[in-house]
Amino acid sequence: MREIVFDTETTGLSPLAGDRVVEIGCVELINHVPTGRSFHAYINPERSMPEEAFRIHGLSEAFLADKPVFAEIAPQFRAFVDQAADGSDDPARLVAHNGTFDMAFLNAEFARQKMQRLGDDRLVDTLILARTKFPGAPASLDALCRRFGVDTAARVKHGALLDSELLAEVYLYLIGGRQPDLALGVAAGSARTDVPAGDPQAPARPVRPARPHAPSARELAAWQAFVGTLSQPLWLDEAADGPAS
């Protein structure tokens, strides 16, 4: 199973109001294990940067002026997120915190390029997972990092790639642990780890032959020799007396 944990930074809160994506960061998981593959891009939004947004992510108009526009990075980005896992025809699942926000911005950018939108059915929203698992508790990325002991020392400002890396750690805790399937590798063709216990579609596991429990002749002889050293074994007395009435 291939998953892409991703985050975006933007010029504001509404793509319908003309706000644009200025940074995308993604990290790849295979069977819930980080592979080390990532995608990262700064993007020229072709518009001004509001002060409120700059205070959050620190990406200025001057810094972004020589960066590629979205149309230039879109094909490479789609190739990364749409790739299926080996042996699968389904594109990777997309994991994001408050993911409807990020998906709305990305799909607005794709609409400008007349490219296919990202399907909402691919989204795993960790904000929803956190609120379901810890109802009433703070569910921001910072709060979840504190809950799970994820180190945020490098997070001075929001950054799409760093936030994706932090979210990947948080996500693994939310779904049951750092390495819930105890997978030690990500080789193609390995058994599925996304099937719940008891699922009739779960892969058949190899049956280990029963170990022999009868003593060998050598072990039996050693036991009899040991018993001969005992003055009065209790079980032999009980056998001689017969069952208690």
**Per-residue pLDDT tens digits for 77-86:** 999 999 987 7
Q: Which of 11-20, 133-142, 196-205 has the lowest mean pLDDT?
A: 196-205
From the list 32, 57, 97, 158, the catalytic residue is 158
Between 10 and 232, where is the model more confident?
10
Per the prediction, the chain carries an average pLDDT of: 85
**Interval 126-135 mean pLDDT:** 97
Domain ranges in the chain?
2-174
Architecture of domain 2-174: 2-Layer Sandwich (3.30)
> Band of the pLDDT at 235, cuts 50, 70, 90?
low
In this prediction, residue 206 carries a pLDDT of 52
pLDDT tens for 20-75 read 999 999 999 999 999 999 999 999 999 999 999 999 999 999 999 999 999 999 99
pLDDT tens for 180-204 read 444 444 444 443 334 344 444 444 4
In this prediction, residue 200 carries a pLDDT of 41
**Interval 210-228 mean pLDDT:** 75
> With the C-alpha atoms ordered 74, 80, 84, 87, is the resulting torsion angle positive or negative?
positive
Count CB neighbours of 188 within 10 A.
9
Tokens 């994820």, residue? 150
In this prediction, residue 185 carries a pLDDT of 44
What does pTM read for this prediction? 0.71
The answer to whether 158 is a known catalytic residue is: yes
